[in-house]
Amino acid sequence: MSILDAPPGTDPTPALRDAVTGIVAGPGEPGYDRATPWRLDIPVAPRAVVVATTAADVSATMRVAAAYGFTVAVASTGHGALPIDESSILVLTSALNGCTVDAQARTARIGAGVRWQEVIDLAAPHCLAPIVGSAPDVGVVGFLTGGGVGPLARSVGLASDRVRSFDLVIGTGEQLHVTPVEHPDLFWGLCGGKGTLGIVTEVEIELLPIAHFYGGALYFDGADAASVLRAWQQWSANLPTDANTSIAFLQLPDIPDVPPPLAGKFTVAVRYATLTDQQRAERTLAPIRAVAEPIVDTIGPTPYSEIRSVHSDPVDPMPAHERHTVLSDLTVDGVETLLAAAGPDSGSPQAITEVRLLGGALSRSDRPSAFCHRTAAYSLLLIGVLAPAVADAVPVHSAAVMDAMAPWSTGRELPNFSPAADPEGLARCYDEDTTERLAALAEDHDPAGVLRVGHVVRTHRA
């Protein structure tokens, strides 16, 4: 029986094994556990897992899925995981791990299974750097297709602004090379539209001549939270456009990986990063240093290979609950509201409550893309660990914080901060014009709806 005349719903696993060169595993078979995402709280139980070794494997999976009536989801590291059930085949791109740097051209070609730290390490000997996020252990492609807001976004813009090309497999199984000139509509949508338009197997990006930056974090005792946040609000509103900062209320666990001054207590972190000279950077930071005595100070000249030190995001998998929104402003009243809702006397169960300053180069780019948040002023992110003692309280509290901060919220969310599979969640990630354009492109390039799963924008959700 040809895959083209298979009854819909028939087990696709034998056909997948015939069609692809990579590993194919059903439930209970060796390799199926690779579907487990980094986000341990997300249920991922596909009908089959395909570990793609070539773009042709991805194409074949698309065609088998269409013939058998399944959708196709994609994952690399699982940091942006969304629920997947037995109606889907999961393509893992982790084996697409080629990565080469052309130092003369200042570019890198990167497979879909590569993490940012590998690119950083290959580029560093040439005093070059990719534009990355706060956690370099995440996958390259997922970050780029969400736009890519990193610790230096105000200095250098979005990571997706540095993409030269995408190699893409669309829902029909066709392989396309996508650039601003070739398939420009798809290129627009891939820069911000996440997985809406297909599965990216390789990208080419521009590297920047960055070897070092000045930055890190100042950590203050929780008793100084109010004074530090109030000062940060005034200071951040007048920062030079090339300076980057965020502030976070932290309640980190008492474990060996957490420095003792921060473990098991309420602390406040002011993150700071800039590409300017050290003298100017220190002058700019001085007002925050003067607010209170830090209990930990990691700010200084830093190799770009240590960019993770700015945010020090967790690297170990964990069950977590995240909420996020974009703020149009952060006023004095907004500061007091946030202190009351999530400050040291609020009883907050959140591990991290972060406000990040946006703007700068992020807002100045004229490169068209599906990232429609260029004018956002700040972002607000809450992350709670779903540990038994607080698992029930975390979602309730995060919803209450979002309600309290609603007067300053645009109602929108950044795609990488808020992966969504429901229409309401997706609507918060894109404005109406972007939603309509993404949906129309998806219908054109995936008429059978093979990609109708996960963070994809469609006119009518299945």
What does pLDDT average to in each consecutive run of 10 residues of the chain (462 residues)? 60 95 93 79 88 98 95 82 87 96 98 97 98 94 96 97 98 98 98 96 98 98 98 96 96 87 95 97 97 97 96 80 95 98 97 97 90 95 93 96 98 88 85 95 95 83 44
In sequence order, which ranges of 74-183 are alpha helices (DSSP H)?
Answer: 116-123, 140-145, 153-156
Instruction: Specify the pLDDT at position 375.
Output: 93
Q: Residue 191 CA to chain centroid, in angstroms?
A: 13
Q: In this structure, what are the phi and psi dihedrals at residue 366, rounded to the nearest 5 degrees?
A: -105, 15
In terms of DSSP bridges, do strands 378-385 and 212-221 run parallel, antiparallel, or are they unpaired? unpaired
Question: For residue 350, which of 310, 386, 304 has the smallest C-alpha distance?
Answer: 386
Q: In this structure, what are the phi and psi dihedrals at residue 339, rounded to the nearest 5 degrees?
A: -60, -45
Tokens for 289? 């240093």
Tokens for 7? 């009854």
Query: Is residue 311 helix, strand or coil?
Result: coil
CA atoms within 13 A on the CB side of 70: 29
Which CA distances in Å does 29 have to 33, 48, 49, 105, 128? Answer: 8, 10, 10, 44, 43
Instruction: Specify the pLDDT at position 8.
Output: 67
Which CA distances in Å does 418 have to 170, 186, 187, 331? Answer: 24, 22, 22, 24
Query: Is residue 341 helix, strand or coil?
Result: helix
Strand spans (E) along 187-311: 199-206, 212-221, 243-251, 266-274, 296-297, 300-303
Instruction: Specify the pLDDT at position 78.
Output: 66
> 201-230: b or e for each residue (b if 16 or more CB lie within 10 Å)?
bbbbbebbebeebbbbbbbbbbebbbebbe
Strand spans (E) along 317-375: 320-327, 352-357
C-alpha 246/C-alpha 60 separation (Å) is 44
CA atoms within 13 A on the CB side of 112: 28
Tokens for 110? 């990167």
Tokens for 271? 């993150």
C-alpha 251/C-alpha 254 separation (Å) is 9
Instruction: Specify the pLDDT at position 460.
Output: 56
Tokens for 176? 């396309």
Instruction: Specify the pLDDT at position 77.
Output: 74
Strand arrangement of the beta sheet that strand 23-25 belongs to: 23-25, 48-51, 88-92, 71-75
Query: Is residue 459 helix, strand or coil?
Result: coil
Query: Is residue 265 helix, strand or coil?
Result: coil
C-alpha 370/C-alpha 363 separation (Å) is 14
Query: Is residue 425 helix, strand or coil?
Result: helix
How much is the pTM?
0.93
Instruction: Specify the pLDDT at position 195.
Output: 92
Residues 6+ apart with CB under 8 A from 371: 146, 147, 158, 160, 191, 192, 415
Q: Name the strand (E) or helix (H) holding 382.
A: strand 378-385
C-alpha 77/C-alpha 44 separation (Å) is 13
Q: Could you give the angle at the alpha carbon of 124 between the alpha carbons of 121 and 128, nearest 5°?
A: 125
**Maximal C-alpha separation, the chain:** 75
